[in-house]
Each structure stands twice: as structure tokens, then as C-alpha cells.
Amino acid sequence: MFYGWIILVYLCFTHFVLLCGWLYTYGTTLSSMINEFGSTMTMASVAKTSNAFACALLALAVGWIISKYSAKLVIILGGISGTIGSAMMVWYVDTMPRYIFCCTMLLSAMATFGSGVASQAILSNWFQRKRSMVLAILLSSGAVGGFIFPALTSFLMEYTGNWRSVWVLILAGSVASIFLSILILRDRPEDMGTYPDGIKPSEPKTRADGAGAVIWKNREFMHTPIFCAIVFAYICTNFSLNCVTAYSVTTFTEKGMSLTQASMVLSIYAFVNFFTRLLSGVAMARWNPKYVYSASILLLAATCAMVPFISSPTAAYCFGALFGFSFGFTVIGPQTLVLRAFGVENFSAVSSVYITIAQLMTAAFSLFPGLIRDITGNFNLLYGFMAVSLFLGGLTIIKAGDMIPRQKGRRADEIDGGTGCCPLLR
């Protein structure tokens, strides 16, 4: 069996534990945590904001560590951070300042190092022909986490009466990830004496013009239209996901639903999202990824616009299903556009920069939800803002244009008849 499949299964595990353990438990534990600490929704938003800022800065560190050392080291550091952070959540965090400290210093590293660019860079090395499908499978493990963690957290809270109980499981998973990374993980197929996809390549092909892909330097890619469009669209989708995972449970409990019913909205989102993430790999490979990505963002906008008018559990479940369906097709959109526009050689560098910029901007808006809730008494205005921003994000991707990386001896304006456009993205 091709060892790359073992790598994929393991990276799905780390994605499930180290990212979803924080992302999909925050919203469910939010109200209980605020009541225990005697705090406010705005202060809880400070924790989310500081976490987002830390994740943005750490994304740059991920790119540097991968280039200087290895992606495997990044995953191990994520497991170590998750172990310390989870232990603190169980035994140390009993005030809001301590919670903010843990979110900023440790849980941010757990999520950023334990998933994301490092995992995708490793899989991009191991797979070429099935890269879109493999990335879709990896990110689908996040949907599994979104389905399991809200329901599991709600059950443990009702069974134990303690919002910290789920962090015991995350602690065990984080410890396991450290040892499994050392034993299983390899950055490249060459480390195991094999080849990408497990297939020995034929004789190297030589290009008639002698041109080859060039590593982009000095952040030149930041001036390209497609990069700017990816950043803006990713800000919009990332902010919407953060809001839904963090505040949808509170949103629907304040509309008169029980904690179990409100948590079910997140579980339905994740259940549907799992299948659409898998389908997104097929869709991106079959059709122009730019239009698949933009269409899914526009559908997200329409879905968020529903929330102010929802007043029943059935309508809330429909929202969860539609959000899961549309968001599933956005998950590998940025990665696919980056890979096709800039090449696998530039993937880590470009991804770490666009993620950093997007997360910094997302973090800047992270106080917005809590302030809206404390000022207006509900989250309706928040979802209206999300709908407008997502609509603009979808239009930006459509209007951005395409390009390919510059090649040796050739300028971007000399490629494809002087258009600088990428045939792969048409």
C-alpha cells in the first residue's frame, strides 16, 4: 500500500483533534464559561480576538519553519502546544484573564501548527495526480470534528456539569499526536524511498523553451490580482465560519431553543459539510475552480441573510444544512487557486502570507460580534454584515482574473500571448 495514504489518515487525525478541539468546543462552552467567570460576551470576544491575532502571526512562523526545517516539526509543535494548553484548560483556567492567556499563547499554536499549511504542504508533496481529492479528504476531517465535538461537548456538559470535561479528551489526543508524528510522519515520499502517488516517474521531460517554474521572492506575488482576491474572499469566509462556530449556539438559544437543539445546528452543518468537502475536490478538478469558489461564497451570503428571520428549530436546522453545503465548496478554493496560479513550489510561502493577512483582518473584526450582542441584544446585525461581505467576496473572485507563476527568462506579461493569464484556471 502506498504510504501516502497512511500519512493522509494520520493528518486527518491531527486536523480533527488539534484544530476542531478548539474551533468546535468554544461556541458550545461559551455561555457556561461566561457564567462561571462572571464575565461578558465582549470579554469572551477578546479571547477569540487575541487567539485570531496569535494565529495570524504564527502562520508566518509556519512558513519559516517549513522552509528552514520541516513540516513534520510544525505538526509536533502543534501537539506539544495542544498538550500544555489542554492541561491548562482542565486544571488551571478559572478566570477570564487566564482563559485569554491560554487562548492566545497555546491554543493558537495548537490550531495553527497542528493543521493547515503544514498538513497541506506534506500532502502536496506526497500526491500529485489526486491532490485536489486528498486535500478535500483532509479538510473533510474538520467537518467530522464539527459534527462530533458540539454534540459530544453538550453531552459531557450535561453529564458532568463541567464545561472543561471535553478538554480531557483533547489532552489525550494531543499527547497521542506527538508520539504518532515522530513514528509515522514523513515530509516527502523520498524520505521513504518512494515517489509521489507511489508511481515511479518516466524520464524527465525537457521543455523546448528551457523555462521552468521560479520560486517567487520578495513577496512579489502579493501584487497580483488573484492573490489579492484570494485574501479578501478568505477573510470573508473565515470570518463567517468563526462567527457561526463561535456564536451560532448562543444565537439560537437566545431565539428560544434548547442547548441541545442549538448544538444540533452545528452538528447538521458539519454533517452536510463533510460530504460537500469531499465533493469539492471533484468539483474543483472538473470545473473552473474560480467559479466553483465564487458561486459557493455567494450561496453563503444568501444563507447568512436568513438568520434574522429564523424563529424555529426546523428553520435553524435548514440554516445549518445550507451553510454546511455552501461552505464545503469554499474550503479548498484558496488552496486550489494558489496551487494552480503559483505552483507547488510556492505553496507554503504564498499560503502562509495570505493566511496571515486574512487572519489579522479577521482578528480585527473579532470583537465585533460580542459588541453587537451586548449593544443590540442579539446577533441579527452580525449576520447581515456577514451576508454583505460574503457577497462582495464572491464578486471579487469572479472579477480578479487569472495568472501563472513567472518562468525563467520570461516575464508574466510575456506568458500566454502577453495576457499573463493561466490556461489552467479558465
Query: What distances in angstroms separate CA 392 from CA 237, 275, 322, 354, 397, one per listed residue?
Result: 11, 26, 19, 18, 9
Residue 192 lies in a domain: no
Query: Does residue 76 fall inside a structural domain?
Result: yes
pLDDT given at position 160: 83
Domain-located, residue 209 = no
DSSP-derived 3-state class of residue 388 = helix
H/E segment holding residue 251? helix 225-253
Give me the DSSP letters along 51-70.
Answer: HHHHHHHHHHHHHHHHHHS-
26 within a domain of the structure (yes/no): yes
Asked whether the CA dihedral 265, 267, 270, 276 is positive or negative, the reply is: negative
* Count of C-beta atoms within a 10 Å radius of residue 228: 16
Burial-class residue 7 by CB neighbours within 10 Å (0-12, 13-18, 19+). buried
Category of 390 on φ-ψ map: left (φ > 0), alpha (ψ -120 to 50) or beta:
alpha
CB 72 within 8 A of CB 61: no
Contact between 313 and 253 (Cβ < 8 Å): no
Provide CB contacts within 8 A for 350, sequence distance 6+: 216, 221, 227, 338, 342
State how many domains the chain has: 1
The residue among 228, 231, 241, 216 whose CA lies nearest residue 348 is 216
Q: What single-letter amino acid sits at 310?
A: I
pLDDT of residue 207: 42
CB burial of 83-93 (b: ≥16 within 10 Å; e: otherwise) equals bbbbbbbbeeb
CB proximity list for 172: less than 8 A, separation 6 or greater: none
Q: 399 and 233 in contact (C-beta within 8 Å)?
A: no
What is the C-alpha to C-alpha distance for residues 385 and 242, in angstroms, rounded to an integer?
14
| Separation between Cα atoms, residue 76 and residue 119, nearest integer Å | 11
Q: Is the dihedral of CA 406, 409, 412, 416 positive or negative?
A: negative
Give mean pLDDT in consecutive 10-residue pieces for the chain, a chain of 426 residues: 86 86 75 79 76 78 81 90 90 86 86 82 82 76 75 81 85 91 86 76 48 55 76 84 78 79 80 78 75 85 87 86 84 75 69 75 73 76 86 83 46 38 36
Quick check: 261 and 315 in contact, CB under 8 A?
Answer: no
Quote the domain boundaries for residue 121: 10-187+219-425
Q: Is residue 172 part of a domain?
A: yes
CA pair distance 268, 401, nearest whole angstrom: 35
**How far is Cα 308 from Cα 301, in angstroms, rounded to an integer?**
13
Cell numbers at 400, concatenated: 480578479
In a domain, 4, yes or no: no
Look-up: residue for cell 470576544?
Answer: 45
113/61 Cα distance (integer angstroms): 9
Per the listing, cell 501563472 goes with 404
Q: What is the pLDDT of residues 37-63, one digit of tens each?
A: 887 777 777 777 787 778 777 877 887
Does any domain span residue 394? yes
Q: Phi then psi for 410, rounded to 5 degrees?
A: -135, 140
Q: What is the CA radius of gyration of the chain?
A: 21
Q: For the residues of 309-342, what is the DSSP string, one character each? A: G--SHHHHHHHHHHHHHHHHTTTTHHHHHHHHHH
Nearest to 251 by CA among 390, 96, 376, 391: 376
pLDDT at 344: 66
The whole-angstrom separation of Cα 96 and Cα 109 is 19
- CA distance linking residue 390 with residue 423, whole number of Å: 27
In angstroms, how far is the first alpha carbon of the chain from the final one? 35
In CATH, what number is assigned to the domain containing residue 388? 1.20.1250.20
Per-residue pLDDT reduced to its tens digit, 213-259: 555 555 677 777 777 788 888 888 888 887 887 777 778 887 878 77
267 lies in a domain? yes
